[in-house]
Amino acid sequence: MNVAFKTLGCKLNYAETSTLENVFVSKGHSVVEFNKKSDVVVINTCTVTERADKECRQLIRKALNKSPNAFIIVTGCYAQLSPEEIVSIDGVDLVLGSKEKLNLFDFETKFEKKGTPQIHVSPLSELSGFGPAFSGNVDGRTRAFLKIQDGCDFNCSFCTIPLARGESRSQNINDTITQANHLVENGYKEIVLTGVNVGDYGKKNGANLIELLKNLELISDLRRIRISSIEPNLLNDELLEYWISSEKICKHFHLPLQSGSDDILRKMKRRYSSTDYKNLISKIRKSSTNAGIGVDVICGFPGDDEKCFTETYNFLNNLEVSYLHVFTYSEREKTPSINYDFRIEPKLRFLFSEKLRTLGAKKKLEFYKSNIDKLQNVLFESSLDGNKIEGYTDNYIRVRTNYLPELENLISKVIIKSAKSEYCNCDVI
Ligand code: SF4
């Protein structure tokens, strides 16, 4: 059978989709692009924003337009939280929750449309296991996502993830190392450690992130380790020192901020103040002046009015960070913040988001420009079009140069020559 996949949302979802792809391939099926005709379609959904729900519904319809007889499977966070909403869309055959996602073949093997959709979604209280060991690929054979943690105990007031993925749990060190070795044997040079709350790694199984990193670094052919994102309050001095001094851990920090206003941070139930965050960025900059630092920020949370937005804008404007990921707040069912007063008009939410996106683009270009004439190590991926090849530097700059086949999946020294909004041009040395 031909099976098409579509993933929405976070890196963890991408890693899980890759695992599903591998399961289908191991059973003799072929993976085809989402816009190609297929026999089975798997949509791995997200539910962080209202747009993600809408996008999911549109994708189901799109898949059915292309392949009206395809067996449609919907899984992921939206499926966990709103299975009834999904089966109300004509043509959906199977809805799997977070626990069932990676055991898809326990629920269906024939993939024949029966006209009546099935729902298999375990309640939140049963989302405790870690699921089968797996890993995922990002771009063919160079960088791989490796899931080390799932779920979250933080309960930020806007967030549906604890509702969709359950409590925080981690994969043990031995299994993680086995999977990392497997990836390296398959040619991957960089592993991106993913999870919902990676900094929480090991809290309940006696492990800790530094211990895991030390073990990963011992894998000699593993050249790079990237930490996908970490909550600011979990990046303590010991971890930061270890991170900075490591030869293999990329100097790329993705640190969710969400707001620069302390009032809003409190209402969001975040576990740090804007001053804590600012101090953390200064510490990173002091020891790793050219680190790539990314920030998540949400616009339009209840009470996040013009005054609070201006605080956030000025806070970020004065912060030495490299890029912003801007999200527009939307009310999500069953989250505490859905009942909060002082809702911000949707028009204003989008306006604020646009302003921050413009600021983010400016910051990114400034960061890229500040790297011109600097030496960097790049892990090149595969050719874009036979003429150019791209890859990421350690500090997360997307770079491009003329294609040479020997550059593929190679870590090469380059010098950055010029900066554009989405990438830098470089010369290989
Ligand atoms: S830390 Fe907060 S925002 Fe992040 S997943 Fe946990 S509850 Fe959600």
Could you please report the per-residue DSSP string of 53-91? HHHHHHHHHHHHHH-TTPEEEEEEHHHHH-HHHHHTSTT
Q: What pTM was computed for the model?
A: 0.90
Does the pLDDT value for residue 134 go beyond 90?
no
3-class SS of residue 7 = strand
> pLDDT (tens digit, 9 = 90+) per residue, 33-64?
998 999 999 999 988 777 777 888 899 889 99
Residue type, 320: E
Ligand 1 contact, 271 CB (< 6 A): no
Residue with CA closest to ligand 1 atom 1: 154
pLDDT top residue among 214 and 124: 214
Closest by Cα among 384, 382, 391, 396 to 294: 396
Q: Quick one: pLDDT at residue 140?
A: 61
197 Cα–ligand 1 center, Å: 7
61 Cα–ligand 1 center, Å: 30
Question: In a mutational test of the pocket of ligand 1, which residue from 156, 167, 264 has the highest number of ligand atoms less than 8 Å from its CB?
Answer: 156
3-class SS of residue 30 = strand
Does the pLDDT value for residue 7 go beyond 50?
yes
> pLDDT (tens digit, 9 = 90+) per residue, 260-272?
999 999 999 999 9
Q: From CA 69, how far away is CA 74, in angstroms rounded?
A: 15
Question: What atom in ligand 1 is closest to the CA of residue 152?
Answer: 6
Question: What atom in ligand 1 is closest to the CA of residue 196?
Answer: 5
Q: From CA 305, how far away is CA 190, in angstroms rounded?
A: 42
Rounded to the nearest 5°, which phi and psi values hold at 329?
-65, 140
Mean pLDDT, to the nearest integer, of 231-238?
A: 98
Question: What atom in ligand 1 is closest to the CA of residue 155?
Answer: 7
**Residue 24 confidence class, pLDDT cut points 50, 70, 90:** very high
Looking at residue 340, the DSSP 8-state letter turns out to be -
Residues 105/137, Cβ–Cβ less than 8 Å: no
Mean pLDDT, to the nearest integer, of 318-341?
A: 95
Ligand 1 contact, 197 CB (< 6 A): yes
Question: In a mutational test of the pocket of ligand 1, which residue from 46, 124, 149, 161 has the highest number of ligand atoms less than 8 Å from its CB?
Answer: 161
The CATH number of the domain covering residues in 2-122: 3.40.50.12160
Question: In a mutational test of the pocket of ligand 1, which residue from 49, 152, 329 has the highest number of ligand atoms less than 8 Å from its CB?
Answer: 152
Partners of 40 in the beta sheet?
A: 3, 71
Ligand 1 contact, 399 CB (< 6 A): no
290 Cα–ligand 1 center, Å: 28
160 Cα–ligand 1 center, Å: 8
The domain made up of 127-250 is a member of CATH 3.30.750.210? yes
What are 403's two structure tokens?
């294609």
Rounded to the nearest 5°, which phi and psi values hold at 84?
-65, -40
Q: Quick one: pLDDT at residue 19?
A: 86
Q: Quick one: pLDDT at residue 106?
A: 92
Q: From CA 21, how far away is CA 26, in angstroms rounded?
A: 9
pLDDT top residue among 27 and 52: 27
Question: In a mutational test of the pocket of ligand 1, which residue from 13, 157, 159, 165 has the highest number of ligand atoms less than 8 Å from its CB?
Answer: 159
3-class SS of residue 278 = helix
Same fold, 127-250 and 283-369: yes
- Report in angstroms the alpha-carbon separations of 238 from 20, 64, 164: 36, 51, 32
> pLDDT (tens digit, 9 = 90+) per residue, 59-80?
988 999 999 999 999 999 999 9
Question: What atom in ligand 1 is closest to the CA of residue 159?
Answer: 8
Instruction: Give the chain's end-to-end CA distance (angstroms, integer).
Output: 45
Closest by Cα among 293, 292, 291, 311 to 301: 311
What are 379's two structure tokens?
């892990």
**Residue indicated by tokens 């680190």:** 291
Ligand 1 contact, 298 CB (< 6 A): no
**Residue 95 confidence class, pLDDT cut points 50, 70, 90:** very high
The CATH number of the domain covering residues in 283-369: 3.30.750.200
Long-range (24+ apart) CB contacts under 8 A made by 53-61 are 53/78, 53/82, 53/85, 55/8, 56/8, 56/86, 57/89, 59/6, 59/8, 60/86, 60/89, 60/91, 60/92, 61/89
pLDDT top residue among 199 and 383: 199
Ordered by start, the domain boundaries in the chain are 2-122, 127-250, 283-369, 375-428
Looking at residue 218, the DSSP 8-state letter turns out to be T
